[in-house]
Amino acid sequence: MTIFTIDRFVETAGDETVVDMLVIGGGITGAAVAYEAASRGLRVALVEADDFGAATSAATGKLIHGGLRYLKQLEIGLVRESLKERRILSDIAPNLIDVYPIVLPDSDLVVRLGLTAYDVLSFDRNRVDDRNKRIPRHRRLPTDEALYYDCLMISPERLTLAFVRSAAAAGALVSNHTRAEELLMEGRQVTGARVRDRFGASHVVRARVVVNATGPWAYDTLTESPVTAGSAGQPPTVRSEGIYLITRQLTDVMTLHVTPHGHFSCAPWRGHSMIGPTEKAYRGAVSDWRVTQESVEEFIAAINSAGLLPVEIGLDDVLHAYGGLRPLTEDAGGDTYNASRAAEVVDHAKSDHGGIHGLITATGGKYTTSRAFAHQVVEIAAPKLGRAMGRSRTSKTWLHGCSTGPIEHYVAASRSRNPDFSAETVRHVARHHGTEHDAVLDLARSTPELATPLDADGELLAQVVVAARHESARTLSDILMRRTGLGTLGLPSDEILDAVARVAGQELGWDDARRAAELDATVSSLTLPWHQPA
């Protein structure tokens, strides 16, 4: 088995590329749009300014969920669509998604009615290929709490990458670290964009349709070009910040705390607890947003006063903090929590959206519904392309590398084939690399250093080589935060950082200065705000 390689097309494509559709933004929305379009026979280019899935798509609570709370807001359509997509994603990426139990402390009549409706709306939840992905009905526990189930991504970062790889396998040209700097116009028709490779030159992508899938940056992307600025509408006055804290493991099961203006949970994840999200208004520039000490302290105070955890926590308990800005599509005034999470697609050809042809803005609302949203976006783009498209197959086709079948059988079979690796390593590599994992383990066997486990999950330096050689990782942060999970539980030890930087540097041709710069950037981004040098 070989490992499929995604190449950055801007490194090899000369000065200009011509496609049917250019997708700007490689979060889950852009990745899913690129996959949907390429798999239906369109020529597609996808550019991402940072790394694939580095922004909002990595800031999630990792839930693939119907959104129980949206029932209260009577968003029945959104809940039903999300529950359907939960089932589809479990089928097309069985290695990256698990069924996940959730406890609601209160099980009064309203909650029980809501959960019953949730069960009814997910009537097809057990029509899945893998028996382990079947979802039981909710039930009341002897403690008077309610137990229900949703799904959890073991790695939202690798799920986004799986969509990017599927797009590339279907013929899409993809490039991370490539920013769209300016939309190209002929009159009121968008004809592509000038894009800049962070490590190289600028490049022109000509396209009949451009999809602006830049999430919280969607408004900024439109205002960067004078002609489209007029179609951007009013600047968002408020955005919703959400952060998560990673601590040692504090609870065995995900427990929710709900108030009328927010909710947060404490969820077991990789032997740790993931606590969040917050819901806080943010009024600054999108690119200036960071997790701040103030936000963390406010959240810790809220956690402790809610009494959700068996112990009180403080700043010293926080190993890692991450988050992002929700791309809300409605003006929520001050109440961002109750604003809709529905996705929104804007066809700028319509006169009330600027009368700009060949431009679509696609703002994703939930990670869970991105595949269905991508289908909607491509259907809107189709008449603008002047060419026929194939039928959509994305709901019935495994994502690239995810055709493992029932995942527990797959892991068990791998363990018998690969007895020379620990159970943790086999499980981790099988789940994160799917059908390519034997090739990853073979690579590890070829050099003893690459086979040494680096953390409790059994992650290997061989995965660093794969990230750089095959998965388009170009920075230390790409490798630590999104190709592996080595940095997602907090700043790794100096030994791990040095080993990863050395192996990555050998693969990517870094000199000493570049390796030192990569290490500095990673240490600075993973150092918690209250530990930053003054």
Ligand X SMILES: Cc1cc2nc3c(=O)[nH]c(=O)nc-3n(C[C@H](O)[C@H](O)[C@H](O)COP(=O)(O)OP(=O)(O)OC[C@H]3O[C@@H](n4cnc5c(N)ncnc54)[C@H](O)[C@@H]3O)c2cc1C
Q: Which residues bind ligand X (CB under 6 A)?
A: 24-30, 47-50, 54-57, 59-63, 65, 179-180, 213-217, 221, 242, 277, 323-327, 364-368
Residue entry with tokens 């809610």: 306
Contact between 37 and 220 under an 8 Å Cβ cutoff? The reply is no
CB 363 to ligand X: min, Å: 6
- Alpha-carbon Rg of the chain, whole angstroms? 22
- Rounded to whole angstroms, the Cα distance separating 432 from 79 reads 28
* CA gap 245, 297 in Å, rounded: 11
In the complex, the smallest distance separating the C-beta of residue 27 from ligand X, rounded to whole angstroms, is: 2
For the chain, the residue count is 534
Query: What three-state secondary structure class fits 399?
Result: coil
Task: For residue 525, give the H/E element and its range.
Answer: helix 512-526
Closer Cβ to ligand X, 277 or 505, answer by number: 277
The DSSP H or E segment spanning 355 is none
Residues 6+ apart with CB under 8 A from 151: 63, 64, 65, 86, 89, 90, 97, 98, 99, 100, 133, 135
Q: Retrieve residue 405's tokens.
A: 């079948």
Judged by beta carbon, residue 170 or residue 274, the one nearer ligand X is 274
CB of 11 to ligand X, least distance (A): 16
Instruction: Please identify, using beta-carbon distances, which residue of 327 and 492 lies nearer to ligand X.
Output: 327
What string of DSSP letters covers 330-349? S--TT--TTS----EEEETT
Nearest to 61 by CA among 341, 456, 443: 341
The residue number with the shortest CB distance to ligand X is 27
Closest CA to 55 of 326, 285, 362, 330: 326
- Of the two residues 51 and 436, which places its CB atom closer to ligand X in the complex? 51
- From the CB of 33, what's the least distance to ligand X, in Å? 9
Nearest distance, CB of residue 323 and ligand X, angstroms = 5
* CA proximity to 154, closest of 269, 51, 59: 269
For the bound state, the minimum distance from the C-beta of residue 158 to ligand X, rounded and expressed in Å, comes to: 14
**Minimum CB distance to ligand X smaller for 323 or for 485:** 323
Question: Residue 281 Cβ, how far from ligand X at the closest point, in Å?
Answer: 13
The minimum distance between CB 308 and ligand X, in angstroms, equals 17
CB 485 within 8 A of CB 270: yes
Q: Is the dihedral of CA 203, 204, 207, 210 positive or negative?
A: positive
Amino acid making up residue 359: L
Q: For ligand X, give the closer residue by CB, 78 or 465.
A: 78
Q: For tokens 């406890």, what's the residue? A: 103
Closer CB to ligand X, 176 or 418, in the complex: 176
SS3 460: strand
Q: Which of 312, 329, 303 is nearest to 244 (CA)?
A: 303
CA 368 vs. chain centroid, Å, equals 10
Cβ 57 to ligand X shortest distance, Å = 3
Kindly tell me which of 84 and 515 has the beta carbon lying closer to ligand X.
84
Least distance from ligand X to the Cβ atom of residue 431, Å: 19
Report how far residue 215's alpha carbon sits from residue 364's, in angstroms, rounded to the nearest whole number: 7
> In this structure, how many other beta carbons lie within 10 angstroms of the beta carbon of residue 327?
25
CB of 65 to ligand X, least distance (A): 6
Q: Which CB, 379 or 420, lies closer to ligand X?
A: 379
CB nearer to ligand X: give 341 or 427. 341
**Amino acid (one-letter) located at 433:** H
Which tokens is 4 given?
A: 């499929």
Q: Which is nearer to ligand X, 193 or 528 (CB)?
A: 193
